Structure 1
Amino acid sequence: MSSETVVDCHRVGKAFQLYLHRNDQLKQTLFGRWRKFYHEHWVLRDVTFKVERGERVGIIGRNGAGKTTLLQIICGITRPSVGEVAIKGRVAPILALGSGFDHELTGRENALIGGAILGVKRKLIEERLHLVEAFADIGEFFYQPLKMYSTGMAARLAFAVCAYADADILIVDEALSVGDAQFQAKCDDFIQEFAKRGTILVVSHDLHMLSHLCDRVVWIEDGRVREIGPAHEIIEDYRDVIEGRAPKPRAVSA
């Protein structure tokens, strides 16, 4: 593993605007220059850490801790309210699988568009379409509109597109749980193989998987970094907390 930083989050924070009354959003649009008609809900505050090239980093925390929002910021899907994120390399984001697809287009057409969004040249995407089709393993549905797909079929297609995008950094959310056992096994095999050559940032509640896959783990609690460190240490502390035991003191380091 090199010492080159490929993901650098510096004091990242994210606030969402909460409107309490039906017309407050319209008022904000018209009169927001002079007054705020919303309340800020901070999902992330002062999140700082780095990921080096070739590292495998897990992100853990309870539901609602801000993990998925953090991944969305790193992928560029949403912008931080404060702070900065610097990325070096091509990112393949496996987040909320299939959510960005056009349901009126076929699986094949969505694979072409998805590859282009990930920065793959069209000629290369076309050359790899048969590999994407084989990996997705959805049969003739590959040539049918996505509105005919189940959630699991859309997930297969989205993962297949990312698998052949020549990414440097793989960003994985726990959305993989939508697939069947055979699909999950194929995804796990791909992730294990990718870990030998690329950088991985993964959110998961599967602590056993994270302890075997990851070098380090970032523990997010109430939108803040609680601990960063070796996977086995942080996971042990996290287990202690969720099971009601006092964790060993750990120093936070980015």
Structure 2
Amino acid sequence: MTVAIDVEGLGVHFRRNRRGRRNFKDLFAGASRRSRPGEFWALRDVSFSVQQGESIGVVGRNGQGKSTLLRLVAKVLLPDEGSVTVRGGVAPLIEITGGFVGDLTVRENVALMAGLHGMPRDAVAQRYDSMIAFAELAGFEDTPYKHLSNGMKVRLAFSVVSQLDEPILLVDEVLAVGDKAFRDKCYKRIDELLAEGRTLFFVSHNERDLRRFCTRGLYLDKGGLVLDGPIADVLDRYNADYNRG
């Protein structure tokens, strides 16, 4: 099988005493990779590979590196150690409403976001009606994005990103938002994407969702990979550790 995601010796660190990554001087002056006062490793020495068409669930307590790992795979962050190789484009359902422009209309934002993710203009036009229908925003196409409710914004973002043709789907807790009817639509759409042979990389605290969509799991703790195996085994280990406190 083809390897879709290959992670080798991955490490990334942040500062506790200031927002964001290290400054430009640190990045371009050959700064030491050793942790300095005020810095911590969010991930360290993490290695695994994901085959094309696999469904991977990432579990762990808050602050253990799950979302950081997802952002590294999405190329939103760059590693300080090791490498992340992604073969094929990604459809990122992370920070789901990020990138939309408040003063632009729904119609304009659909064209903008789909275009930024590489969807050709003719494909945007062809899929526009289905995206609006999925988001339940018929009649709101000419409404400025900033006037939408939070629920409307999330529905629009999921609708656009889930229509991308990229082979790898990155999902970070997006199914935890919205009402039950919207979540059911999301579940059905993800089922359709998996049936097409897409690769799923899924971060969630929802055990039911993890068991439904994933066959394999990665358990992260304190920035390290504790267990890589069948999702049932990974969840059993995580729950046992959690119950021990």
TM-score by length of 2: 0.89
> Which runs of 5 or more residues in structure 2 are unaligned?
none
Q: 1:80 deviation in Å?
A: 1.4
* Equivalent residue, structure 2, for 1:5: 3
Aligned-residue offset at 1:97 = 1.1
* 1:55-134 to 2 correspondences below 5 Å: 55-134=54-133
Counterpart amino acid of 1:51?
A: V
- The alpha-carbon deviation at position 176 of structure 1 amounts to 2.8
SS of residue in 1 equivalent to 2:58? strand
Whether the 8 Å CA contact 1:9–1:50 is kept in 2: the answer is yes
The reply to whether residue 227 of structure 1 matches residue 230 of structure 2 is no
**Superposition pairs of residues 148-159 of structure 1, within 5 angstroms:** 148-159=147-158
User: 1:251 aligns to what?
Assistant: none
Letter in 1 for 2:80: S
- For residues 95 and 205 of structure 1, the distance between their equivalents in structure 2, rounded to whole angstroms, comes to 15
CA distance in 2, matches of 1:35, 1:235: 38
| Counterpart in the other structure of 1:214 | 214
1:89-139 residue CA offsets vs partner (Å, 9 max, x unmatched): 121000021122111211221111211222211111121111111111123
Unaligned runs of 5+ in 1: 246-254
Shift of 1:142: 3.0
* Secondary structure in structure 2 of the residue aligned to 1:140: coil
| Post-superposition offset of 1:182 | 0.8
Give a deviation string over 1:34-92, Cα, whole Å, max 9, x none: 99997322211111111101100000000111111111111111211221111111210
* Letter in structure 2 aligned against 1:17: R
What count of residue pairs does the alignment treat as equivalent?
237
For 2:205, the equivalent position in structure 1 comes to 205
Q: Deviations over 1:185-240 (max 9, x none)?
A: 10011111211121111011111221232110000111110100011111111111
Are the aligned partners of 1:171 and 1:200 in contact in 2 as well (CA < 8 Å)? Answer: yes
1:143 to 1:221, Cα distance in 2 relative to 1, 3 A? same
User: What is the rounded CA distance, in whole Å, between the counterparts of 1:29 and 1:72 in structure 2?
Assistant: 23
Separation of aligned partners in 2, 1:97 and 1:239: 28
CA deviation after TM superposition for structure 1 residue 33, in Å? 5.7
- For 2:31 and 2:214, how far apart are their aligned partners in 1? 46
1:239 aligns with 2:234: no
Amino acid corresponding to residue 149 of structure 1 in structure 2: L
Label 1:211 to 1:33 Cα distance change in 2 as closer, same or farther (>3 A): closer
Shift of the 216–35 alpha-carbon distance from structure 1 to 2, 3 Å rule, reads closer
Segments ≥4 residues shifted beyond 6 Å? 34-38
Residue 119 of structure 2 aligns to a residue in which SS? coil
Give the AA of the match of 1:146.
Answer: Y
In the alignment, the residues of structure 1 paired with residue 65 and residue 45 of structure 2 have an alpha-carbon distance, to the nearest angstrom, of 12
Distance in 2, Cα, partners of 1:205 & 1:50: 22
Identity %: 34
- Output the TM-score relative to the length of structure 1: 0.86
